[in-house]
Amino acid sequence: MKRYLKKAKRPGVSWVKIIHPKNVVTAEWVRIKCQYGCGRYGTCLTCPPFSPTPEYTRKMLEHYSKALIMIYDIPPEPKERRMRQKMRKQIASLEKEIFLDGYYKAFGMASGPCNLCKTCDTNQPCKFEELARPSMEACGIDVYATLANVGYKLEVVKSYDQLCHYCGLILID
**Residues that bind ligand SF4 in the complex, under the rule CB under 6 A:** 44-46, 114, 116-117, 120, 126-128, 132
Question: At 172, phi and psi to the nearest 5?
Answer: -135, 145
Choice between 120 and 169, CB closer to ligand SF4: 120
Residue with smaller CB distance to ligand SF4, 19 or 116: 116
Largest CA-CA distance found in the chain, in angstroms, rounded? 43
* Nearest distance, CB of residue 161 and ligand SF4, angstroms: 26
| Beta carbon nearer to ligand SF4, 16 or 44 | 44
- Closest approach, Cβ 127 to ligand SF4, in A, equals 4
Residue closer to ligand SF4 by CB (options 53, 85) is 85
Smallest separation, CB 56 to ligand SF4 (Å): 18
Kindly state the smallest distance separating residue 162's Cβ from ligand SF4, in Å. 25
